[in-house]
Structure 1
Amino acid sequence: MRERLTKSDVEKIKAEIEYRKLTVRKEAIEAVKEARAQGDLSENFEYYAAKRDKNKNESRINYLERMLKTAEIVSDDSRADEVGMNNVVEIYFEDEDETETYKLVTSIRGNSLDNKISIESPLGKAVLGHKVGDRVKVKISDTAGYYVEIRKIEKNTDDTEDQIKSF
């Protein structure tokens, strides 16, 4: 599956790759060298830990580079009166008679514990592009779903606090 990324996401990923290649990689290689110099590798925990950390860093670099190669760039622009990327949206859930506030983000920034929902999620897909007062059906499957109402939209272009998920 192709990740849907904004230009801001791409820049953050490129910055992380550069940091990992120029800083973390050098530190990891040095840690492996130091641990190897301690002698017998068969019982050298520091050596195995340093190798594991080095390999984790290389895996993360490969993952991010692969993500960039296959990514689909999406716009984070939207009209002033409709739900768009990086907007904070107040949503009324009819079935529970509750109101929740969420920020719509790309899938790599999604974090339900922090009320950041992906535009790929059923709720994100349903509300994207709608206006205040719209009643929208959130499809869970072909036969199941629920209704929500968009109560408020706040435009939020500052995404500096958003972090890209590390897997």
Structure 2
Amino acid sequence: METIIKLAELKLEQFVQGTNNNWLIFSTLPESKQHSSGIDGDVILNALKAVEIIDADLDVVIDAAYDYSYSISTDNKLKLAFAKSKHADKGSALDSLKCVTITYELGDLKRNGDYYRVIARDNLGAELHRTNPLTLDQIDKVISTFDSTRDVSTSGYVKYEIKPDFIVN
């Protein structure tokens, strides 16, 4: 079974400046099956001319036929490399990539009891907060806290996504 998410839905963990390329390291793909290498072809970046590589090649000059190279390995984190001339800095890279979608295979999912996760996003869709597994009563308190502390006239409104918590086998 596959799922599709926007690159903007992943948390940026690190911006790396290499000799040939810069690259972005994003959080793990949610509920993804574990990958054995950076070249198993199970992850597809849509709307990009990109090639899948192994982690060790993130700083190797990218083939002229592609604009980006990316790797997913056993840590299930997306590492997206681009030539230094492609984007001037981390901000311009993130801005140009925000609408890119990622298609990948889900792992073998097993429900984690009656636990759920809530993701709070601002009105632009940027993630503000992601909870650990909680009961629905606990989630109600999280949402109430966000709603009572956020000034919508200056910081916009909050959207919530509630989904069951899964253990990936």
Instruction: Name the structure where strand makes up a greater proportion of residues.
Output: 2
Higher-RCO chain (CA-CA 8 Å, sequence separation at least 6):
2
Fold conserved between structures, TM > 0.5: no
Which structure has the larger Rg?
1
Q: TM-score range by the shorter chain?
A: under 0.3
Instruction: Name the structure where helix makes up a greater proportion of residues.
Output: 1
Give the TM-score of the pair, scaled to structure 2: 0.21
